Structures are given as structure tokens and as C-alpha cells.
A and B are shown apart, each in its own frame.
Chain A
Amino acid sequence: MIKKGEWVLIHRNVLEPSQRAPQVPEDTKNVPLEMWLKGYLQEDANIGDEVTVLTRTKRIEKGTLLEVNPYYKHDFGTFVPELLQISDQVKEILFGGADNE
């Protein structure tokens, strides 16, 4: 049970596939327009429940409860060895590699 007042992430479909704009390409038209939003939970609830939240600008929004205390998971990615190669190459051209060591 997640308590009222907790900071949560919710999700809602804003437009169903049938409601999408006419100019949208086919692949996009086959899927809904989805929205993710954070706010303070307005009633005790469980993950997956339909809930109401109060956003940072004090708007009321409804959606499916996804996460409590949501946090960012983006990072610097996995190692890309090509970047070392680029660095070595331009230093070699400019400063002359072995002679410079």
C-alpha cells in the first residue's frame, strides 16, 4: 500500500489510436499518445490502481499508478572503445605520437 501524500509517477493514454491526428504516420497512428507525470498521491493506493495526483504546479491529474519515489536511471552508457581511437588518432596527427612520449 502506498500512502496518500507520497511522490509518485502515473501514466495515462491521452489519445487512443482512433483519436490521433490525421497527419500522423501509420506506425504512430497504431499506438496511443501516452503521458507520464509525477505528483503527490491523493489517496492510499497500490501500483496499477487508477489514482489522482497533485502536480508541482498544483494541478489535479488522473492516471495509473506506476512507481513511488520515481528516480532517474539514465547514465553514461556502456563503454564505446571508438572514442579512445579517435582521441589517439588526432593526438598522433597533431603531436606526433611516439616522439612526444
Chain B
Amino acid sequence: MSKDMSYAGVMSRRPEIMKKAAGLDFSEFESGSIAFDYERMMREAGFTIEEIQKIQSEHGVGNTPIIELRNLTALARKLAPAGKGARIFIKDEASNASGSFKARRASTAVYQAWKLGYKGVVTATSGNYGAAVASQAAMYGLKCIVVQECYDSNGVGQPEIIEKARKCEALGAEVVQLSVGPELFYSFLTILEETGYFNASLYTPFAIAGVETLGYEIAMQFREKYGKDPDVVMCTNAGGGNLTGTARGLRKAGAESKVVAVSVDLSGLHMASDNQFNKKSFTTGHTGFGMPFTTWPDRSDVPRSAARPMRYMDKYVTVHEGEVFYMTEVLACLEGLEKGPAGNTALTAAFAMAQELDQDQMIVVQETEYTGAGKHVQPQLSFARKNGIEIIFGDPKDEVPGKNIILPSHPSMIKVNEADLNHMRKSLIKNALTNYNVTPNEADIAFLAEETNTDAEFVKGVIASL
């Protein structure tokens, strides 16, 4: 009998398809309730820092330079109160093999696929991760399929995603492009089922362990060059893997730097809406991913996500689209570094936050990404204008995502908005209770305290208030 290929039919086979494609039995780490053994999963299924360094150094990944942004720091000091204006640095992750930090994540995922004897890898992503998996797969001689959400129902493609498709194809991958909708996951499952390839998910312990070297390198490079750890590490946040891996790496190096999550504010836009798809000028690093994944990490494509950012963030701030585009231009004209806009989300927040820190403090932006046709401030702004988005100079706080992009009239107008972390912690606890539909036991409460970086008392208080 032929298989049921309807949406419901394929989704009902999800657990078996995913298990076969993951090379990992997540049930080993389950408690049967809300709690699971996250640290044991990372220990047993991940890799040690030494193993990852070896895998990455043999495949064009890691040891990226840290660049001090002296002119940007000087500009921040012009705008800051006397004595304020921390030194701003950037880790040039664009110099990884595939042009972004995602090469770290792909290096361990593809290595795992190769080690387990899979013939190919499949990944569902419209982002830099596709090129990263394609690049690593090329090095290991594995086949690669990248499934992208790319076009709206008029067949109009987001220029940045089209560029990423081009890069994947240039690196030898097959690219399956889809119109808008979460059923991308349906297509992804049918391809996994058909090919028997490895699911190079962004969220497995392998992938997240691959990012730990980023945080570890930051600590080591700063100690060697400046004699101390950076005070603040700024991470652009979407699915949470960048922040989780970096923070875990910093901890493994014994660094106590504050870790700040940054997303572009796209509030009001629905991520699964066909009409709104080409109204957003950022395809990642935005609140449309950042907020839901932070408050419920297990919405990813694996049963238990290894990216659990709320455990590690000291602060979560948002910036506006216009501010990030402004800062992308500033990075090019003041620092001579032309980079992709989405990767400059954390840079924008760093510029604002540096003005609140003392001059002897150091703030590091932990990524850059490659740039090119489509994936650049100019095509993104001209595409937005073509789609009826108003682009004006003004006060960025008046920006309405999907309606306008407000470039700051003056750099002093670039500010961060701090998200209410306690509110987000409550959401995570509520989501856990709703999804598992159990009365939490003592182990669950201890787990939720770790998940929210709080204590049992906080968790019990939230549960009582629900």
C-alpha cells in the first residue's frame, strides 16, 4: 500500500522519520515529564571543545579575527556622557568557510552525519545555515539538500534568500524553494523520508556544540591580546543557538562576561503570512523567531532543542530595522567593513549600549556575515521601497514594521529597548505546562528554574499565579 502523503499523514509519521534522520535517540534523556537531562544530552551527544577545534580547524572553520572598531567607538564617545563609551570589537565570523558563524554549527552536524555513514544531509533553512551545510557537505563528499521558504504567492522572492539559494547551489547543493508557510516542515519530512539522509538540524547537540568554540575563542583571544575577558558579549538572537553555544563556550573558558541577546523588532508582522512575507526586510535575527524560540525552545525540528537561550541571557534588547541598516552603512564607511545587514543587529545594540559603559570596558559583537547581491543594505532598502515600505529619516522609535523603515536622523537616536525578561520567563513556564499538560513534580520545578535562570521559589510563584 502506498504511503499517506497528505499533510496530516506525513506529520503523523514525524517521530519515526525524525528518529531515523537524527542519528540520536532523544528519549534517552527524557524524564517522562517536563524535565529532561539537558547537560547529559550535551555531554553524551555533543563533543568536547578539543574535538570540535580539531574538526573545525581541518574544515576551514573557526579562529576568526577580532577587530577593534576604533572609529565606531570614537563616534559613540562623541555622543556619550563624559567618561562613557566602551571599546567596541567585532568577531569577523564572515571569514569562516561559508561566510558566517553558521559554519561552526554545520561543521559538527555534517561531521556527525559523515561519521554515522549517512550518504547525504538535508536542512530546512532560508538562512546562512544552508550555505554552511552545503559548504561542509562539499568537503566531506556528502550530498546536500536545502529546503527554503523563498517566494510569496506572486512568485516574488526575498532578495536575501535568493542569494542564499545561489550560494548553496554554487557549493553543490540541491535547493528546494517553497512559497510561504510552516508546511515547509512537511516538505522537509517527505524529503528525509524519501532519501534517508541525515537531518542537519540547527538544534541538535552536535550543532550547538559547534558554536561553543565561538565563545571559547572570544575569551582566549581577549585574554591574549587585552589581558582580560570582554565585559559584554552581544549576540544576534533568532532560534537561540548562536547565543546558547557562545555562552556555553564562554563558561567553558571560565569567562564571566555578560551575555546580551539582540533581535530586530518585527512586532505586528505574522511570520506565516503570505501578504506580509515581503514586507519584512530581515529574514533572521528578528523578534518573529527570537521571542517564540526563547519562550519555548522545543518548537524546533528536533524533540528537544539544544538551543535554550533563556538559560544564558543576562538581557534581551531589541532594535529597529532602520537602525540596523544605518549601522550597516556606518560599519562600511567608518570601519571599511562591508557586511550583511542581518549580522549587524547585535552591532547596532552594541553601539547604543557602549555609551552607557565606562571607557575602559570592552564590548564584543560576536558575529559578522558575508554580503553580496541581494544580501546587502542597498538591495534590501530598494526592495522594501518597491514593496511600498516608506523609507524616511526620523526617530526610529516611530518605526512600524511592514509600514516604514525609519533611518535615524542622527546617530544619537540609536537606542535599545529592553525586553521584560521576567515576563518571558513566565511565558516559558506557562508554555511548558500547556505543552506537557502535567502537574509539575520537584524535578520539573528544578528544571524550569534552570530553564529560566531563576530558582524554585520563582517557578512555584509563577505556577501558583497561572
Stretch in contact with the other chain, from B224-232, B251-259, B379-387: B379-387
A24 at interface by CB-CB < 8 Å: yes
**Contact between A90 and B407, CB atoms less than 8 A apart:** no
> Residue A28 contacts which of B71, B166, B176, B274 (CB distance < 8 angstroms)?
B274
Q: Are B410 and A21 interface neighbours, CB within 8 A?
A: no
**B201 → chain A closest CB, angstroms:** 18
Distance in angstroms between the alpha carbons of A82 and B389 in the assembled complex: 14
> Quick check: is B60 within 8 A (CB to CB) of the other chain?
no
**CB-CB contacts of A3-40 with B at 8 A, as 1s and 0s?**
00000000000110001110111011011111111100
How far is B143's CA from A20's CA once the two chains are assembled, in angstroms?
A: 30
Query: Would A14 and B178 count as touching, CB distance under 8 A?
Result: yes
B334:A24 contact, CB within 8 angstroms: no
Given the known interface contacts A27-B273, A28-B272, A86-B407, the answer about A76 and B373 at a Cβ–Cβ threshold of 8 Å is yes
Which of A59, A77, A83 meets B383, CB within 8 Å? A77
Smallest beta-carbon distance A58→chain B, Å: 8
Q: Is the C-beta of A69 less than 8 angstroms from some C-beta in chain B?
A: no
Chain B residues with Cβ below 8 Å from A89 are: 410-411
Instruction: Say yes or no: A21 contacts B182, CB within 8 Å.
Output: yes
Per-residue CB proximity of B62-82 to A under 8 Å, as 1/0? 000000000100110010000
Q: In the complex, A57→B159 CA distance in Å?
A: 25
Give the CA-CA distance A74 to B378 in the complex, in Å: 12
The reply to whether B183 and A24 contact each other, CB–CB distance below 8 Å, is yes
Chain A residues near B165: list those with CB within 8 A.
Answer: 72
**What's the nearest-Cβ distance from chain B to residue A89, in Å?**
7
Which of A31, A75, A90 is within 8 Å of B179, CB to CB?
A31
- Complex contacts, B383 vs chain A, CB 8 Å: 77
**Given known A24-B182, A27-B274, A34-B153, contact A93–B172 (CB-CB < 8 A):** no
**Is A98 an interface position by the 8 A CB rule?**
no
A1 within 8 A of B: no
Decide if A90 touches B274 in the complex (CB within 8 Å): no
Q: Does B145 contact A (CB under 8 A)?
A: yes
Q: Are A77 and B334 in contact (CB under 8 A)?
A: no
Interface residues in B, total, Cβ within 8 A: 66
Q: How far, in whole Å, are A95 and B349 apart by their CA atoms in the complex? A: 23
Shortest Cβ distance from residue B8 to the other chain A in the assembled complex, whole angstroms: 9
User: Taking A57-B195, A94-B75 as contacts, is the C-beta distance between A77 and B179 under 8 angstroms?
Assistant: no
A interface, size bucket: 35 or more
Known: A57-B174, A87-B333. A74 touches B407 (CB 8 A): no
By the criterion CB–CB under 8 Å, are B411 and A14 in contact? no
A80 surroundings in chain B (CB, below 8 A) = 377-378, 381-382, 385, 391
B window 121-154: CB within 8 A of A: 143-145, 150-151, 153
- Is residue A46 contacting chain B, with contact meaning CB distance below 8 A? no
Shortest CB distance B334–A (Å)? 6
* B187 contacts chain A at the CB level, 8 A cutoff: yes
**Known interface pairs A55-B174, A90-B75; A20-B334 also in contact (CB < 8 Å):** no
A2 to B426, CA, bound (A): 60
Determine which of B332, B393, B410 lies in contact with A82 in the assembled complex, contact meaning CB atoms within 8 Å: B393
| CB-based contact A86/B379 at 8 Å | no
CB nearest to B391 among chain A residues: A82
- B440 on interface, CB distance cutoff 8 Å: no
Tell me whether A31 and B153 are in contact (CB under 8 A).
yes
Residue in chain B with minimal CB distance to A9: B177
Contact of A34 among B75, B151, B195 (CB under 8 A): B151
> Given the known A-B contacts A56-B172, A56-B173, A94-B71, are A74 and B166 also in contact in the complex, defined by CB atoms under 8 Å?
yes
* Chain B neighbourhood of A76, CB < 8 A: 373, 376, 378-379
Measured in the bound complex, the distance between the Cα atoms of B78 and A25 in whole Å is 47
Measured CA separation A20–B186 after assembly (Å):
10
* B143: A residues at CB distance < 8 A: 56-57
14 contacts between A and B (CB under 8 A): A25-B274, A32-B179, A34-B153, A35-B178, A36-B177, A56-B172, A56-B174, A57-B143, A57-B144, A59-B174, A82-B393, A86-B326, A86-B330, A93-B411
Known pairs A14-B183, A19-B6, A78-B385; list 17 more (Cβ under 8 Å).
A19-B7, A20-B183, A21-B7, A24-B183, A30-B274, A33-B187, A35-B187, A38-B175, A57-B120, A57-B144, A77-B378, A77-B383, A78-B386, A79-B382, A86-B329, A86-B407, A89-B411
Residues of A within 8 A of B (CB): 14-15, 19-21, 23-25, 27-28, 30-38, 55-57, 59, 72, 74-80, 82-83, 85-87, 89-91, 93-94
